[in-house]
């Protein structure tokens, strides 16, 4: 072996040794967790609860840093440019890695290469909600009305590229009817319009509806859960309601910047998996109508790839426009 080859081998061995030693000591200080949403939102509440439990197991605080912004780009960019040393973790939802690549030209990050998937934190069960003014008894009654009177049920969304609009298009296609879209800038506006009867329908993450006495905010008619949620046991799932297997779900997951060592990713995955299996955390997630989905980093990565492909197919099928 030449001197150069020996030197390169020694350098590689030293680098591997230093990385392993660093991972063995990890963590020695607090961990920053970047969130793409404002404080108090459902994703923020869930992330903070999981982070609190994980911090107790790792012995270092998880400090949440909210970076909300248009199409979740600020959080993704901050994560991408952070040091890959395990002291910056990132929570992303479906939009960042499965919707944005198809909807935004010149996306300032590579959804496949710039982040390391660590673990799926859970599926945020979504569903169709009808205005209390509509007086719907069940999903079948809604279908009958939508088919009999096309164009009379107004569907609230957050814009043409939102998850709500994709589901609206899917539902209208399934029923061979029309439901005009009405767009809103925020959840408060949309919910107020639904309660007042200005719109008749919307699709949303149902965790925001966990407290809904006497259907005062709206009647939940169907959910995209893999099974009926304990919090809303009378609400059927998509397959039960005859909608088939809708391929897009809203999920949230934990990531790290690309280049974060395997040992650290595996360590964080193990700790968070323990948190997600804790009965009191399972009960908490259930109360927010969220299904825990514990996974290995490899399983989560494969899941995201499948979700991205399925999302792309749906967006192309319904000609969902680009955001910019």
CB-based contacts of 51, cutoff 8 Å, min separation 6: 33, 62, 64
What span, in angstroms and rounded, lies between the C-alpha atoms of 166 and 176?
A: 15
For the segment 18-47, what is each residue's pLDDT rounded down to a tens digit? 444 446 789 999 999 999 999 988 899 999
Q: What is the mean pLDDT of residues 91-95?
A: 95
> Among residues 214, 33, 32, which one has the least CA distance to residue 132?
214
For the segment 177-193, what is each residue's pLDDT rounded down to a tens digit? 999 999 998 888 998 99
Q: Say if residue 13's pLDDT is above 60.
A: no
- Predicted local confidence at residue 2, as pLDDT: 55
11 vs 14, 15, 24, 83, 145, CA distance in Å? 5, 6, 20, 21, 71
Q: What is the mean pLDDT of residues 75-88?
A: 98
CB atoms < 10 A from the CB of 5, how many?
9
What span, in angstroms and rounded, lies between the C-alpha atoms of 74 and 267?
A: 27
Q: What is the pTM of this model?
A: 0.88
* Pairing label, strands 31-35, 88-93: parallel
Buried b (16+ CB within 10 A) or exposed e, 27-43: beeebbbbbbbeeebbb
For the segment 202-227, what is each residue's pLDDT rounded down to a tens digit? 999 888 777 887 788 899 999 999 99
Are 115 and 80 in contact, with CB atoms under 8 Å apart? yes
Among 50-64, 183-197, 250-264, which is the least confidently predicted range?
A: 183-197
Are 94 and 307 in contact, with CB atoms under 8 Å apart? yes
Domains of the chain and CATH, by start:
30-123+250-317 (3.40.190.150), 126-223 (3.40.190.10)
For the segment 230-242, what is each residue's pLDDT rounded down to a tens digit? 989 999 999 999 9
More confident residue, 4 or 233: 233
Could you tell me if residue 87 is left (phi over 0), alpha (psi between -120 and 50 degrees) or otherwise beta? alpha
Q: What is the mean pLDDT of residues 66-93?
A: 96
- Predicted local confidence at residue 8, as pLDDT: 45
235 vs 180, 217, 222, 224, 241, CA distance in Å? 25, 15, 5, 10, 9
């Amino acid at each position: 072996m030449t001197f150069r080859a020996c030197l390169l081998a020694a350098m590689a061995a030293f680098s591997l040794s230093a990385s392993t030693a660093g991972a063995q000591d990890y963590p020695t200080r607090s961990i920053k967790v970047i969130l793409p949403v404002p404080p108090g939102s459902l994703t923020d509440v869930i992330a903070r609860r999981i982070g609190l439990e994980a911090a107790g197991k790792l012995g270092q605080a998880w400090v949440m840093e909210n970076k909300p912004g248009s199409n979740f780009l600020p959080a993704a960019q901050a994560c991408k440019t952070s040091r890959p040393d395990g002291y910056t973790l990132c929570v992303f939802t479906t939009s960042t890695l499965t919707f944005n690549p198809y909807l935004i030209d010149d996306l300032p990050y590579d959804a496949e290469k710039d982040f390391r998937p660590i673990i799926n934190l859970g599926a945020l069960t979504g569903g169709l909600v009808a205005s209390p003014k509509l007086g719907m008894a069940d999903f079948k009654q809604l279908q009958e009305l939508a088919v009999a009177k096309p164009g009379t049920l107004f569907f609230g969304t957050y814009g043409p590229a939102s998850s709500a609009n994709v589901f609206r298009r899917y539902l209208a296609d399934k029923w061979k009817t029309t439901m005009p879209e009405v767009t809103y800038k925020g959840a408060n506006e949309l919910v107020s319009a639904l309660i007042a009867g200005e719109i008749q329908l919307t699709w949303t993450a149902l965790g925001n509806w966990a407290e809904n006495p006497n259907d005062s905010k709206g009647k939940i008619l169907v959910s995209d859960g893999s099974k009926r949620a304990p919090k809303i046991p009378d609400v059927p799932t998509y397959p039960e309601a005859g909608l088939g297997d809708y391929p897009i779900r809203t999920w949230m997951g934990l990531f790290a910047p690309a280049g974060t060592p395997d040992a650290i990713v595996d360590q964080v995955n193990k700790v968070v998996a323990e948190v997600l299996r804790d009965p009191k955390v399972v009960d908490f997630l259930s109360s927010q109508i969220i299904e825990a989905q514990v996974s290995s980093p490899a399983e989560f990565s494969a899941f995201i790839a499948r979700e991205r492909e399925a999302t792309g197919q749906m967006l192309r099928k319904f000609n969902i426009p680009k955001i910019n």
